[in-house]
């Protein structure tokens, strides 16, 4: 999954993209080998302020409309807002990637169900503005599984078919570095317990900062490669990344190791 952020404050991009640049970047992401693309109009980095639905739509809709009929790969919209998801799906999005797991705007599940889209349910606690306030776990893998199960139940109760669900253990979200590494190490256990396709998004995140020698986010692709490898070996079905071309090679090699095992 290639990441396309159209926000003015992304933690992992050198500068914001205007709509034309974003469209060109989306086409490049496809050419670099991504299997799907995730378009986001609100930053969810630690400390980020939330934005209203109209602001988010103003950022993503020109890109979605400009890509209609031009991309061959599926499009995901990275949003937790029901109103944004509804318009994005109508504009061609196939998947809604909800970082809140339906906690922030529960009616989102009904929108996804009515429109026949797929849904990613990510594990988190609290809001981006206070990302680490709830980072307290008795057993991080067991707690993530238990809390994601409640999110899966909520989605199914709203009419989203189980076959349309993907789970994401939420690396970096309400998790300190040790928690994120713990989740990566125990992905096989998490995946087996939930029994659903699993998306993992380690790309350039702050838990990799120390491994990168304190480097800024844009210089964390080497530790990202290690985390992507761990994710694939741990059973992830999708990895969400910024640097698509090199990570395609990383995934191919990791898949060969996985298959040989």
- Distance (Å, whole) CA 220 – CA 215: 7
Q: Which of 245, 228, 205, 222 is nearest to 25 (CA)?
A: 245
Neighbours of 175 (CB within 10 A): 26
Q: Which two tokens stand for residue 133?
A: 């306030």
- Distance (Å, whole) CA 32 – CA 23: 14
Residue from 186, 205, 209, 261 carrying the catalytic annotation: 205
**Residues contacting 102, CB < 8 A, separation 6+:** 80, 108, 109, 121, 151, 154, 155, 158
Find out whether 66 and 91 touch, Cβ atoms under 8 Å.
Answer: no
Q: Which of 249, 238, 257 is nearest to 3 (CA)?
A: 238
- Distance (Å, whole) CA 260 – CA 50: 44
User: Which residue intervals of 97-176 are DSSP H helices?
Assistant: 108-115, 140-157
**Three-state DSSP class for 14?**
coil
Residue from 25, 81, 151, 240 carrying the catalytic annotation: 240
Concerning whether 15 is annotated as a catalytic residue, the answer is no
Element (H, E) at 40: strand 37-40
Concerning whether 240 is annotated as a catalytic residue, the answer is yes
Task: Write out the catalytic residue numbers.
Answer: 205, 240
């Amino acid at each position: 999954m290639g990441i396309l952020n159209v926000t003015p404050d992304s933690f992992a991009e050198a500068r914001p993209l205007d709509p034309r640049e974003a469209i060109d970047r989306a086409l490049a992401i496809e050419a670099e080998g991504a299997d799907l693309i995730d378009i986001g109009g609100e930053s969810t980095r630690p400390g980020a302020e939330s934005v209203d639905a109209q602001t988010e739509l103003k950022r993503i809709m020109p890109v979605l409309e400009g890509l209609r009929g031009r991309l061959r790969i599926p499009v995901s919209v990275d949003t937790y807002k029901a109103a944004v998801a509804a318009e994005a799906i109508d504009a061609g999005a196939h998947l809604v990637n909800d970082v809140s797991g339906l906690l922030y705007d529960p009616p989102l599940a009904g929108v996804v169900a009515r429109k026949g889209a797929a849904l990613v349910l990510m594990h988190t606690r609290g809001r981006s503005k206070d990302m680490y306030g709830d980072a307290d776990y008795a057993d991080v893998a067991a707690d993530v599984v238990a809390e994601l199960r409640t999110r899966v139940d909520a989605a199914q109760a709203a009419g989203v078919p189980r076959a349309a669900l993907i789970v994401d253990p939420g690396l970096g979200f309400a998790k300190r570095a040790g928690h994120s590494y713990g989740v990566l190490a125990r992905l096989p256990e998490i995946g087996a317990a939930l029994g659903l396709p699993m998306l993992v998004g380690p790309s350039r995140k702050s838990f990799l900062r120390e491994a990168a020698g304190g480097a800024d986010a844009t210089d964390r692709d080497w530790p990202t490669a290690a985390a992507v490898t761990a994710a694939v070996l741990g059973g992830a079905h999708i990895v969400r990344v910024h640097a698509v071309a090199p990570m395609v090679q990383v995934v191919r090699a990791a898949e060969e190791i996985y298959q040989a095992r």
